[in-house]
Every structure is written in C-alpha cells, then in structure tokens.
Chains A and B, each alone.
Chain A
Amino acid sequence: MSMTETPASSVAPSVDERADDVVRDGYFGRFGGQYVPESLSGALAQLVDAWADAQADPAFEAELDDLRRNYGGRPTPLYRASRLSEEAGVEVWLKREDLAHTGSHKLNNVVGQALLTRRMGKPRVIAETGAGQHGVATATAAALFGLDCTVYMGAEDVRRQRLNVVRMQLLGTEVVPVDSGTRTLKDAINEAMRDWVSNVDDTHYLIGSAMGPHPFPTIVRELQKIISVESTQQFTDQVGGRPDAVIACVGGGSNAIGSFAEWIGIDGVKLIGVEAAGEGVGSGRSAATISEGREAVLHGSRSIVLVNDDGQVKPAHSVSAGLDYPGVGPEHAWLASTGRGIYVSATDADALHGFRRTCELEGIIPALEPAHAVGWLLRHGCDELGEGAKIVLTMSGRGDKDVDEVVEVAGWDVGVAKAFGEDTGAGS
C-alpha cells in the first residue's frame, strides 16, 4: 500500500470555507447530512441546539476542562519512543491516549456528550461498541453522572472482547449482544439506532465515533480535538518546529479526526489515516473503507462505504473489533477527496507485528487499533516519509483487552500454556 495510491489531491478548501460547510447544513463538501428516519428529526434538532448553547456557555467548557484533568487524567503525554524510532527509521512521538482514564481516547467524547445529555434533561444513554472501548467509556460516564446505560455490542465482539464486557457490567451498564447481520460493530449501530428511534424522548444516543447524522461528526470531532490541541503545544515545547506527519488509525475515525483537527490548517504536516485491511486490500476480507469503498449512505450520513453493486453493505473484516466497520466518518471522506488527508492501510499481519514490537521495544501493550498505525509505520514509514522524519502517532488505547485474542490469532507461544496448562489456552 503506497501513499501514491490515494485519490489525486485537489486544492483543499480553506479552514474558513470548511467551517461554513459544517455550519450551513451539516455537510463536509458533499459528505455528511442527516439520512435518518423522520422520528429522529426532533432529537437531532435538540442536539444541534444543546451543542450550540453549550459552546456559548463558559461553564460547559470549564466543567469539561475540570473533568478532563481531574477525572480523565489529561493532558496525556507526548512521548518519544526511541527504540521504536530506531526500528522504524523515523522519529516517533507517541501521543499517549492509552494513559487516559478507561484506557483510550474514547472518554474525551463521552464526557462531553454526557454533559450534553444532562443539559437536555435525558436520564438514559445508549451506545454501540466494537472493541468495547467506547462502551466502557460510556458506562464510566453513565456511572459518574447517574445515567441509565445500555450498550449494544455485536455477539462476535462480545466473544473477542470479554474483558470489556465485564468492565461495562461492573460499571452498572446493561450489555446487549447483537445477533443480527454480521454480529459486529455495524449491527450494534443498527440496533442502537432502533433503540433510539423507539425511546428518543428520554434517551441520548451517545455515538462513539465521528460518524452518524449531523451534528454527531462535528460534536465528536470537537470533543476529540483535545488530542491535537495538546499535541500541537507539546510538540512545540518538546521538539520545536512542526512534525512531518501525524498518523492515526481510522475505523469510524474519532481518534484520527481529533488527532488531525489542529494540524489541518498547518501547511506541510501530512495527515495519515491508517485503515484496517484485514487479509489485504482486494482480498474481500478487509475493512479499508476509503481504499476500497464507494460513495454511499450508511448510518445516517453520506460518506464512503463498503457496498456491493446492489447497494448492500459488505461485511468488513479486521482482527481489530474497533476497526471492523464498513463505513468511515464523513469528514475523513471529505479530507480524502480533497487530498488533505492521506489514507493508507495495514493488514492484520502488519498490525500484529506492530503490536508485538510496541510491546517488546517500548514496554507498551497497545490496543490492536493503533497497532495498525504502528504496523504501517514500521513497514512503510521510512520509505514514504523519509529517514528521520518526525512523526506524531496517536496511541489511541491500551491493549489489555486484546491480549487473549492476539495470542490466539497470532498463535504466538508466549508461555500461556506453560503457565496455565495445555487445556486453558488463551481465548478459551
């Protein structure tokens, strides 16, 4: 996968033009919109208003800032990964979202939307989750704010992310396994949408990625922007100048849009999103939406989607439950179409290699999602970005949840059998 395969770049609109698009009607260029049943129109209008009110209210930002610092553990460090740098041939700075409370970037979005839920006077939140990181973050915020919480999770993901299921349950959340369709993230979103359509009066759908109908892609981007608000300042303070590239993994795209947001307007900083290619682009077992998809509507917005010629959504595949999604947020589709964003992919094998080398070289067990970004960097970074290039890579979550699955899928002998006996192998 070479960066030169991405769509030819055209002149990107200025940041001001882009803001106009968003403000005018919830579109990023031709991507976005509100393709939802009429029964959700009121809830989306209410959310647009609540978000506008919150942004105009200094108390909202103050409370969010307090929660981020004193509850969430922000700012997260920008850490120079020296041994990984040596192996990659580029200078790697990890933005350590894995060190935030709940173990991923997901809490950034969840705390903000929980505050909005309270402002709207709704007592209940629902969420979808793939890897379980967003579900855990939502369950956490629900406990903190005293909200009822139901999380929908594909039955296949319940199996492969058992640890996070138990965490959600401990936090008082009802986890509903979804057995329809492909039994993964997209089906969990369908089921959450059905719940929302049915209970819209008292329920906020706390969408976990920068996707869905307007205003979700904008709200999630603004709440995740804290990643790059911090990283721009930290890079200036710790390194100086600007990085050559900012790299993040992309499923729906929330950590990536948050990692990119403050760099979009800074010339010369490449923005590289790494999608999950599963068994490879073209294999039919992939989740590399921007590389392989086409323009279509999924889950409330027009974006790029893996669909067949008949209009049916194709099953995605990735070793990572969090990237195993056949769509992508509309702002990423727009960044790809303008050439401002560069979207590449990493296979399951690349990701497992990135996972293992991050463990061995840095003493960091990464989530499988950012392991895709590391895997791409190890394989292509030096060639594509030049030796010694300065890179900010978002380590979007930690990998405790993944260890059983990784050891089973990769078939690594790390001594599990020796420690626990032959009959209790990982993943059982």
Chain B
Amino acid sequence: MTPVTVNGSEQIAAAFERAAAEDRAALIVYLTACFPDPATSRACFEAAVEAGADILEIGVPFSDPMMDGPIIQQANQHVLDAGTSVGEQLDLVRSLGHLDVPKLVMTYVTIADTRGYASFADELADAGLAGVILPDLPVPEADAWLAEARRRDLATVFLASSISSDERLDAIGQASSGWVYATGLLGVTGVKSIAGDITRDLVGRVRARTDLPVAVGIGVKDRASAAEVATYADGVIVGSSIVSAAADGDPAGAPARVAALVRELREGVAANR
C-alpha cells in the first residue's frame, strides 16, 4: 500500500472544526505505543477512537522522560524493557491507518535527534502521522526540526506555560501548527490536578496570539476536569489516566477500560456548552 501523504495541519484543523460544529471541545487521547504489548495497544487505540477520541497522541517511549510522572514513566519503561524499537512502534502506527482521526507522535527530542531530523520526519510522514509533540524542544531550539517537519507537511505542536513570557508566547503562536498545547499546571504528567484560574488565563493569553486551536493538557484526568477545561479551551488532552486504565487490570480487558473512560471524557467535553 502506498502511503498517502496528507497535510497534517489541515487534518488536525478539520478534527477541531468537526468538534466545534458539534458545540464541544475536541478530545485528544494519549496512549503509550505498544503498551502493554503491540496487539493490546492497537486494540486500545481502536477502542479510544470508537469511544469518541477526536485526535490520538501516540507516545514513543524514551529512556529519560523528564516531563512524565510515574504512570507514563512506568508504561514507557515496560515497553523499553520488552525491547520494542521505535521502528516497531511506527509499525503499530501504520496499522492504525483505518482510524480516521489525526495521529501525532509524542516523544522527546533525543529520539528525533539521534535518528536525524530529516529521517525522523520521513519516518513519521510515511507512517501516516499528522504531526509531533516534542516537549523538550522549545521554540528557540526548533528551527532545524521545523524545516524538516514543514518539508513533510507534519504539524509541530509547541507547549505553552503559564510562566512563558509574552515574547515566548508570541514565538510559540507563530511556530506552532495544528494547535497550541497549554499546560494546565506547573508539573509533570499524571501527578497533580489542573490549576483552573491559571490555565484559563494562559489560554486567553495564547488566544490573543494565534488563530490556532488551544488545547489544554497535563492535569486533566476525568469527566469533571474535562468538562471544566472544555468551557474555555478548544481541546482537552488526557494521558496518564488513560494509561492507568490500560495498565490497571488484565491486558485482555484494557481496550474496554480505555473505552469506558474515553466515553466519560467525551461526555465531559460536551457537557458545559
């Protein structure tokens, strides 16, 4: 099968527009690739989309994930201990081609850098990915990567923080494609709950600087927090609690547990509109 080249940014924009047309925030679901094993992982991604995920973030594990709390760290370590390679994780991505949602890889810059930015961009685009999130690649260091990402029409989603200066938010708004990822708290994934007022303020500051959708992640974990964020953001990103759903219990039941949580979250993102 010849890979179909798609424009990642347009694909992502369409997903946000579909959600907006239904008067709700988009639901972006993170799961670690090949966790707890490739077959179960594939079933979990399918279950997430079936249950209402609009966009998938596919975590490619890195040995030293400084932005991740214990839940995602342990999932990553499990996949690394099983000896799964980045190539095998991208095989999994290719096997998700039948899921009609934009798919982005979330990983760390060392993975992209070691493979070479040009090769990595080719690998992602050829696997049918719409874009990438690299939390330890801030805009001032990103020129070389952005050139390769644009060459292959991959979106690059940058993170914005409540402590980002206005100048940095300007740069983030200009460099991002797909959406801008507003971090809901000062911290790593899956530990603390979202800081509401600070995040709402951050989303407002980002909106003033870009036409892109603004999605909030880190600290969103359940129906209630998703519903709260959906009142002021275009998208809601949930990771650690979904990985927990996949991890806590027997692997055979993982897809059903993921689906149940995603259904709740999907209700949440539509609740307060």
Question: Interface residues, chain A, CB within 8 Å of chain B?
Answer: 33-39, 41-43, 45, 180-181, 186-187, 190, 193-194, 197-201, 294, 296-300, 302, 305, 307, 309-313
List of A residues within 8 angstroms of B208 by Cβ: none
Contact call B168/A310, Cβ cutoff below 8 A: no
Contact call A298/B136, Cβ cutoff below 8 A: no
B188's closest neighbor in chain A, by CB?
A: A194
Contact call B110/A311, Cβ cutoff below 8 A: yes
Question: Interface residues, chain B, CB within 8 Å of chain A?
Answer: 62-70, 73, 77, 80, 85-87, 109-115, 135-138, 140-141, 158-165, 168, 172, 183, 186-188, 191-192
A307's closest neighbor in chain B, by CB?
A: B114
Interface of A is mostly: mixed
A33's closest neighbor in chain B, by CB?
A: B141
List of B residues within 8 angstroms of A41 by Cβ: 138, 161, 163-165, 168
A126 → B minimal CB distance (Å): 14
For the complex, give the distance between the alpha carbons of A300 and B70 in Å.
Answer: 20
The 8 Å CB contact of A313, one of B86, B110, B140, B192, is B110
List of B residues within 8 angstroms of A309 by Cβ: 114
Q: Enumerate 24 A-B pairs (CB-CB under 8 Å) in ascending A order.
A: A34-B140, A37-B159, A38-B161, A38-B164, A38-B168, A39-B161, A39-B162, A39-B163, A39-B187, A41-B163, A41-B168, A181-B64, A190-B64, A190-B66, A194-B68, A197-B67, A198-B191, A294-B114, A297-B110, A298-B110, A299-B66, A305-B110, A310-B86, A313-B63
Knowing A181-B63, A200-B186, the reply to whether A311 touches B165 (Cβ < 8 A) is no
List of A residues within 8 angstroms of B70 by Cβ: 180
Knowing A194-B69, A312-B63, the reply to whether A38 touches B172 (Cβ < 8 A) is yes
Contact call B66/A193, Cβ cutoff below 8 A: yes
A198's closest neighbor in chain B, by CB?
A: B187
List of B residues within 8 angstroms of A296 by Cβ: 110, 113-114
The 8 Å CB contact of B65, one of A39, A43, A190, A310, is A190
List of B residues within 8 angstroms of A190 by Cβ: 64-66
List of B residues within 8 angstroms of A299 by Cβ: 64, 66
For the complex, give the distance between the alpha carbons of A180 and B188 in Å.
Answer: 15
Knowing A45-B165, A181-B63, the reply to whether A38 touches B138 (Cβ < 8 A) is yes
B93 → A minimal CB distance (Å): 15
Closest 7 pairs between A and B when the two form their complex, measured CB to CB: A311-B114, A311-B111, A42-B163, A198-B187, A39-B161, A193-B66, A312-B63
Knowing A38-B168, A310-B114, the reply to whether A180 touches B73 (Cβ < 8 A) is yes
Contact call B67/A198, Cβ cutoff below 8 A: no
List of A residues within 8 angstroms of B168 by Cβ: 38, 41
Query: Given contacts A200-B163, A294-B114, could you give 10 more A-B pairs where the C-beta distance is less than 8 Å?
Result: A34-B140, A35-B137, A37-B135, A38-B168, A42-B163, A45-B165, A181-B77, A298-B110, A300-B136, A311-B111
A314's closest neighbor in chain B, by CB?
A: B63
The 8 Å CB contact of B160, one of A38, A181, A193, is A38
Contact call A197/B66, Cβ cutoff below 8 A: yes
For the complex, give the distance between the alpha carbons of A187 and B68 in Å.
Answer: 13
For the complex, give the distance between the alpha carbons of A41 and B65 in Å.
Answer: 18
Contact call A35/B109, Cβ cutoff below 8 A: yes
Contact call A42/B114, Cβ cutoff below 8 A: no
A198 → B minimal CB distance (Å): 4
A314 → B minimal CB distance (Å): 8
A297 → B minimal CB distance (Å): 5
Contact call A194/B66, Cβ cutoff below 8 A: yes
Contact call A310/B111, Cβ cutoff below 8 A: yes
Most interface-central of B73, B138, B172, B183 (chain A CB within 10 A): B138
For the complex, give the distance between the alpha carbons of A299 and B111 in Å.
Answer: 13
B179 → A minimal CB distance (Å): 15
Knowing A35-B136, A180-B73, the reply to whether A42 touches B165 (Cβ < 8 A) is yes
List of A residues within 8 angstroms of B65 by Cβ: 190
Most interface-central of B65, B69, B161, B168 (chain A CB within 10 A): B161
For the complex, give the distance between the alpha carbons of A155 and B109 in Å.
Answer: 27
Contact call A311/B77, Cβ cutoff below 8 A: no
Most interface-central of A35, A190, A299 (chain B CB within 10 A): A35
Contact call A312/B80, Cβ cutoff below 8 A: yes
For the complex, give the distance between the alpha carbons of A180 and B65 in Å.
Answer: 11
For the complex, give the distance between the alpha carbons of A390 and B89 in Å.
Answer: 55
List of A residues within 8 angstroms of B62 by Cβ: 311-312
B172 → A minimal CB distance (Å): 7
Contact call A311/B140, Cβ cutoff below 8 A: no
A180's closest neighbor in chain B, by CB?
A: B73
B89's closest neighbor in chain A, by CB?
A: A310
Contact call B86/A34, Cβ cutoff below 8 A: no
Contact call B110/A198, Cβ cutoff below 8 A: no
B123 → A minimal CB distance (Å): 12
For the complex, give the distance between the alpha carbons of A297 and B141 in Å.
Answer: 11
The 8 Å CB contact of A39, one of B63, B69, B141, B183, is B183
Contact call A197/B141, Cβ cutoff below 8 A: no
Knowing A36-B138, A39-B163, A39-B186, the reply to whether A311 touches B64 (Cβ < 8 A) is no
A44's closest neighbor in chain B, by CB?
A: B138
B61's closest neighbor in chain A, by CB?
A: A312
